[in-house]
Amino acid sequence: MPGIDAVARLAGVSAATVSRALSGNGHVSPATRLRVTEAARELGYVVSSSASSLASGRTKNIGVVVPFLNRWFYSSVLEGAGAALLRNGYDLTLYGLAGGDDERRSVFEHFLLRKRVDAVLALTIELTEREVQSLLALQKPIVGIGGPVTGVPTLSIDDVAVARLATDHLLGLGHTRIGMIGGESGFELDFHLPTNRRSGYEYALRGAGIEPDPRLFRPADFTITGGYAAARVLLEHPQTRPTAVFAASDEMALGCMLAARDLGIDVPADLSVVGIDGHEYAEFFGLTTVAQFPAQQGERAVEMLLHQLHPDRHEPAPTNIPLPVELICRRSTAPPPPRAG
């Protein structure tokens, strides 16, 4: 196999420039980087990952910490992050925390501190001060998605504002008896998402002069199955049934629509349903949703990490970035039935 000197001769540069161009460490002009890359490809030269790591102190590997591996939102963020890392020549190591406190402690106190990763992306994980300081002490760049973390660049949506937007949509259609399927207490651990989305729902109602009715709130676990079970309870009695439901996630909203179908309730003639996320199935089901574009969140988080790893190659990024959302109206929402007034 040809060596680095052969690549340098073909590209007309020094071996040191070839090393910088192919490792991504140090400044090399775009034109030179392209010339070196083409020479390496022509000769079939492949950089040794172990040698590159020894020379640069970098592993070209990013650690991504997620609370769940089997949820659509997290897999969508990972898809965007993985694609962005691949384009920039980085590998991804995934650390799931579904096992609880012991697993989390092991990840932050052992795996991430062994210098097996160059940086850490924390996905909707509210890092403790101890976890942040232990990573910063090793000079590992960190970016968080999902909420503010002191001392860490973050991307997040305003969960209160998003819930208000969804509820205001229902109020604007004329609904006054609006139920909510929200999060269970177990989801309060990181960034208080269930509380914030319930607060946004209640703020919107009070802003319209409607006092929230606790009987119209049902907790669930952000899954279709959980949303279905909560909706069955919320919708089973015609006399107390809401004319609209705001679900704190699209999966719970889809579960609500399926429950309505099984109860013989027409959506949207008898019941309007709106969710949050922009789930890939939302369009198929005709679900009105507030989309938050999780794949783009993953891509933008990687951009922020790469800026910290290669400040000479990337434009400075803001410390805390509010993420865009969009209300997408589909056929699951409509004005309330006439009998509901």
Whether residues 80 and 103 share a domain: the answer is: yes
Mean pLDDT of 134-154: 81
Range of the domain at 15: 4-56
Mean pLDDT of 242-267: 97
Q: How many Å is the Cα radius of gyration of the chain?
A: 25
Structure tokens at 155: 């991307």
In the block, which residue shows the tokens 């909420």?
A: 147
Give the pLDDT score at 103: 76
Average pLDDT, the chain: 86
CATH code, domain carrying 174: 3.40.50.2300
Whose CA is closest to 157, among 256, 247, 278?
Answer: 278
Is 319 inside a domain boundary?
no
Task: For 317-339, write each residue's pLDDT tens digit.
Answer: 556 788 999 999 999 999 999 87
Whether residues 199 and 224 share a domain: the answer is: yes
Whether residues 245 and 334 share a domain: the answer is: yes
3-class SS shares of the chain: helix, strand, coil, % to 5 = 50, 15, 35
Is 50 inside a domain boundary?
yes
Whether residues 170 and 284 share a domain: the answer is: yes
pLDDT above 60 (res 53): no
Is 316 inside a domain boundary?
no
Q: How many helices (H) and strands (E) does the chain have?
A: 13, 12
Query: pLDDT band for position 47 (50/70/90)?
Result: low
pLDDT above 90 (res 57): no
Whether residues 176 and 238 share a domain: the answer is: yes
Give the pLDDT score at 37: 83
Give the pLDDT score at 190: 58
Contact (CB, 8 A) for 187 and 193: yes
Whether residues 239 and 262 share a domain: the answer is: yes
Whether residues 205 and 246 share a domain: the answer is: yes
